[in-house]
Chain A
Amino acid sequence: MKVDRRSFLGLGLGAVAGVVVSPVGLKLTDDSSIWTQNWPWTPVPVDGEVSYDSSVCNLCPGNCGISVRKIADRPVKIEGLAGYPINDGGACLHGIAGLQYLYDPARVKTPLIKKGDKFEKISWEDAITLVAGKLANIRKGGAPQKLACITDKTQGSVPKLFDRFLTAFGSPNLYTMPSLESCLELTAQTLHGNGNTLGFDLENSDFILSFGAGLIEGWGSPVSCFKANASRKKRGAKLYQIEPRLSNTAACADKWIPIKPGTEADLALGICAVMIKNNQFNSSTFKDGFNRFAIMVRNKYAPAKVAGICGIKVADIEKIAGQFVMAKRPLAIPGRGRGRNGQSLKEFAAVHTLNCLVGNLNQRGGAFVMAKNDYLSFPEAILDGVAEVGAGQEKLAGSVDEFVTKLNAAGKPIVDALFVYNANPCYSLNEPKRVKQAFKKVPFVVSFSSFLDETAMEADVILPMNTFLERTEDVPSQAGLTKNVVGLIRPVLKPVFDTKDPGDALIFLARALGGSIAQNFDWETYADCLGDVTAGIWDSLSENGHVLVPPKPFKEFFEGPPDVDFTFLATNPSTVQAQGDFGLTLIPIDNMRLLGAMPADSPFAIKTVSDKVLIGKDIVVEINPQTARGLKDGGDALLTTPVGAARVKVNFNEGIMPGVLGMVRGLGHTFDNKFVSNKGVNVNDLIGPQIESGSGLDAAFGIKAKISKV
């Protein structure tokens, strides 16, 4: 027997034939095709029972009710909460993308301490002990006012707890970031006296004269504004939008009135002059200074003069005044863009004066002068000797911008420790590099933050906060609404990381400090505190998730129109001018698709941004072709202002006034999140602060600029 080649051939053929007729071929073909259809690294989301949790979104001051869909106890989608008094089922893109913040790459996952240039993990106990130690030393030095704090807002129990902490500690140095709410409070205080704020009944007005208020760009409570705008057509209500650029609000307005940037106050006063000249006003509640004001506007704001300043024809100014007066329920609203940054008290007061003159105060469809939402009752603060000393001290500055300026100007530290809660001044104030400089002059900065953002990066200790989906908090509506709604944020899941509610962190810290400070925070948890200080409304707040305060229709609530005090405007305070003497004016653009401030955007929001706003890593600047001599549409350019310069791309836009450059606000973050950061430039880097005398507000509406091809 000889095993030859043919035998091997037989062996091979036999093997092949055997495999072919066995199920191997069929089965492997099937399996391998399935394998290529379902890669093991493609996630398979777990299925389960569907449930819905109601809560409130606090990504912006809008405070919309949200419904969180959960599957197998895992939140999978955020939607607007139907029936909620602010947004009734609507939601904006940022709220809908809210779940992305839970697992944001830039989240602070544990308490961190800065060692050299790096942050190191530290336990909560050690972090609190460290902070308490530093604070105790400040008190030992007898100058408790050397602790300062920056928060995002003043309303609600959490900002009030920070306030309380500073009071108990002995420092008056609590500052809040610029906001529409603070501008409205300041305006109401100036024209109607302390303790008031303003609301605008957009849903019922039939003629809205908006001085650049971006009703579609995120002004006030965005979803509520969207809804009011959407119902205009049905109601036959008109919207006139006055601003230098064809924004989305201007695009859906009945009339867009382009105006030279920063001259809105002049136009408002010009319209006042026309109304007064024509005797078309209602003076029954005018208290002080009206005559002086009338003479002032007649002399200084005659339509012919205003026309030149604003770039609007005299006839048009008179026509607008006429239409405003003739409307049944006219309403003028201030606050360019989101009404947050670069606002001026003069402008707010001038615009609101139109409401006062036309007599729509506390009328359906008009402007509402309301008492500040005051539903919280904290136990009286207990002050020890040190705190008493601090209580007698002057506040260092009138506004956060002035505070930053003073920090920078001082030779040695005027503040020994600084708390920052839910604010990102190192990004969102104008000229952030001066803010970072100021932070470097503070020996000890504590950031209460959910994200390792530009400001948290400057801190010495970061105490990580729960996001709005993981925490409990009361959120009063503000944002220019005529309703007082207190919403309740409820955790929809357990904290993903080792984070705490801000209230709990403060209680923890107060306890570590002991003495009278601990006495002021005598609650086991923040949840106990919240139940305690909202005692009057807690039952219905916890049951319904929100409370209308007071729960009455406005007619019963508001008693007649309030007094109007004209003394501030009668002196004709000076209008802030754009810094520098270049030929063009750069203005920041508020865009609904970008949050613009705190927190930074979600990856989904960035994804919606147009390629006419951001291309790759380049920000796009809008310019009218008439002004764009030497530039190419889509080309590269160098934008220079007195404060800085940036490489940009150019977009020819017929919807922006000649002589104006528009750059979106909200890009150019520099922290560690590749989906959101290092895209474009931060427009605030190019604009310097312009402090308005009298209000202390940074009223820089823009800055002079030049642009050249590169």
Chain B
Amino acid sequence: MIQDKKEHKFGMVIDLDKCTGCGSCMVSCMSENNIPFKEDESRKKDSITWMRVYKLTNGKSFPDIQIAYLPRPCQHCSGKGGHGHSPCVSVCPATATDYGYDTGIVSQIYTRCFGCRYCMGACPYHARYFNWWDPEWPAGQEKYLSPNVSPRMRGVVEKCSLCYHRYQAARDKAYYEGRDDIEESEYQTACTTACPAGAIVFGDLNDPSHMVHQIVKPDPHPDPMNKYVVDKSRNPKVFRLLERLGTNTKIYYLSEREWVRKAGDNYLDGEWDKVKNHHGSSSK
């Protein structure tokens, strides 16, 4: 019997210097994952966008202002110490969301969810969305829905799955061909393949042959400054959002610009200078 021999840890690194904020990733995600839409989508808190692109500015005034864009899928937290206790998984009373130890992907099962929204309160990244209404498609438009992702009903929470159905499809093919495992190119998320700038790199953070591992260079040792932080990048240009919380997200960001990296967390005065050159314990 073929078992998953390797333990994967799927994640991505997004190059914020390449990201132009064009929005292809958002729409590719919507179209891939049967995400509904409604008349007014300008109230962003109830606008379901598994992948959302935020605009950052350096806060300076004309003409020194700079802007950058930050695409934010579900961060697929490994939780403190990387043990799978993601903030949302820990609070779900229905086991409607769990941590896949074989993939590192945080699931969301709509039929199991009863809509308490604890997970939304627990998520530090606003990556989870609640279906306040039943989805409605204009007549005929339900014909483009994909059978690979089940459409949601009102009263449940949904979020990015890292296109898990694409992983399943890749595995099905591998099974068919009698292979134990899948290739890097076989499993790529819809946002990754759609990005015209090539800003998103997706793959297995555990696999040194994968591009994402080579860019991120995750540190196998816990961070000496914070024992809950694991897999810190040894690349000085790579950072994670609110890394000090110990959520151990698997979505990494890359930027040459210091102000962009600093935007990844809230720092007290003078704090940034202490931590900005700290990049993984064994990086030196």
Contact = CB atoms under 8 A, between A and B. Distances in A.
Interface of A: 37-39, 41-48, 71, 74-80, 87, 89-94, 96-97, 99-100, 102-105, 216, 222-223, 226-227, 229-230, 233, 246, 248-249, 251-252, 256, 258, 496, 592-593, 603-612, 614-617, 624-626, 654-658, 674-675, 679
A616 B39 contact: no
B42 interface: yes
Contacts of A593: 22-23
A459 to B, nearest CB: 23
A607 B39 contact: no
B152 A42 contact: yes
Interface string B180-214: 00000000001001111111000000000000000
Given A77-B31, A607-B47, A607-B49, A92 B22 contact: yes
A75 B196 contact: no
Contact of A611 (B38, B42, B140): B42
A23 to B, nearest CB: 23
Nearest to A620: B42
A606 B62 contact: no
B37 A251 contact: no
A351 B37 CA distance: 43
B138 interface: yes
A248 B199 contact: no
A103 B152 contact: no
B41 A607 contact: yes
Contacts of A625: 61
A226 B144 contact: no
Interface in B22-51: 22-24, 26-28, 30-32, 34, 37-44, 47, 49
Given A77-B32, A604-B37, A227 B143 contact: no
B66 interface: yes
Given A39-B134, A91-B194, A612-B55, A102 B63 contact: no
Most buried by B among A38, A223, A593, A605: A593
A616 B196 contact: no
Interface in B131-176: 134-135, 137-148, 150-153
A226 B152 contact: no
Nearest to B58: A654
Given A42-B152, A674-B39, 17 more contacts: A39-B134, A43-B137, A43-B142, A44-B151, A71-B146, A93-B27, A97-B31, A100-B144, A102-B143, A248-B21, A251-B20, A606-B37, A607-B26, A608-B49, A624-B62, A658-B62, A675-B38
B60 to A, nearest CB: 7
A614 B57 CA distance: 19
B137 A104 contact: no
21 contacts: A47-B147, A80-B196, A89-B193, A91-B28, A92-B24, A93-B23, A93-B26, A97-B27, A99-B31, A103-B138, A104-B138, A222-B22, A227-B196, A227-B198, A233-B17, A233-B18, A251-B67, A593-B22, A606-B41, A614-B42, A656-B62
Interface of B: 17-18, 20-24, 26-28, 30-32, 34, 37-44, 47, 49, 53, 55, 57, 60-63, 65-69, 110-112, 134-135, 137-148, 150-153, 190, 193-199
B138 A248 contact: no
B45 to A, nearest CB: 10
Contacts of B18: 230, 233
A97 to B, nearest CB: 5
A46 B142 CA distance: 10
Nearest to B25: A93
Contacts, number: 202
A47 B172 CA distance: 15
A616 B22 contact: no
Contacts of B57: 654-655
A675 B36 CA distance: 12
A252 B19 CA distance: 9
B103 to A, nearest CB: 22
Given A42-B135, A91-B24, A248-B22, A96 B194 contact: yes
Contacts of A626: 62
A92 B42 contact: no
Contacts of B134: 39, 41-42
B67 A655 contact: yes
B82 to A, nearest CB: 32
Nearest to A38: B111
A692 to B, nearest CB: 29
Contacts of B27: 93-94, 96-97, 604-605, 608
Contacts of B150: 44
Contacts of B152: 42
**Which of B62, B65, B141, B196 has the most chain A CB atoms closer than 10 A to its own CB?**
B196
Contacts of B145: 43, 45, 76
Contact of A216 (B20, B34, B135, B190): B20
Contacts of A105: 138-139
Nearest to A98: B31
A654 B190 CA distance: 34
A615 B209 CA distance: 45
Nearest to A93: B27
Nearest to B113: A37
B24 A74 contact: no
B37 A607 contact: yes
B142 A616 contact: no
A623 B41 CA distance: 24
A617 B39 CA distance: 10
A604 B31 contact: yes
A611 B44 contact: yes
A494 B62 CA distance: 53
B62 A77 contact: no
Contacts of A87: 196
Nearest to B63: A258
Considering residues A41, A624, A655, which has the most beta carbons from chain B within 10 angstroms of its beta carbon? Answer: A655
A654 B147 CA distance: 45
A96 B135 CA distance: 20
Contacts of A100: 141, 144
Contact of B151 (A37, A43, A226): A43
A38 B152 CA distance: 9
A91 B44 CA distance: 25
The 10 A-B pairs of least Cβ separation, nearest first, read A90-B196, A103-B140, A93-B27, A37-B111, A226-B196, A47-B147, A103-B141, A45-B145, A230-B197, A45-B147
A93 B24 contact: yes
B140 A496 contact: yes
Contacts of A657: 62
Contacts of A654: 57, 60-62, 65
A407 B96 CA distance: 64
A230 B144 contact: no
A675 B23 contact: no
A405 to B, nearest CB: 36
A350 to B, nearest CB: 24
Contacts of A48: 147
Contacts of A80: 193-194, 196
Most chain B Cβ neighbours within 10 Å, of A41, A76, A605, A608: A608
Nearest to A78: B31
Given A91-B196, A604-B27, A38 B153 contact: yes
Nearest to A496: B140
Contacts of B55: 610, 612
B146 A76 contact: yes
A125 B117 CA distance: 57
Contacts of B38: 675
Contacts of A674: 39
B144 A99 contact: yes
Nearest to B45: A611
Nearest to A232: B18
A93 B22 contact: yes
Contacts of A606: 37, 41
Nearest to B54: A610
B24 A39 contact: no
Given A74-B144, A227-B196, A248-B21, A604 B30 contact: yes
Nearest to B64: A654
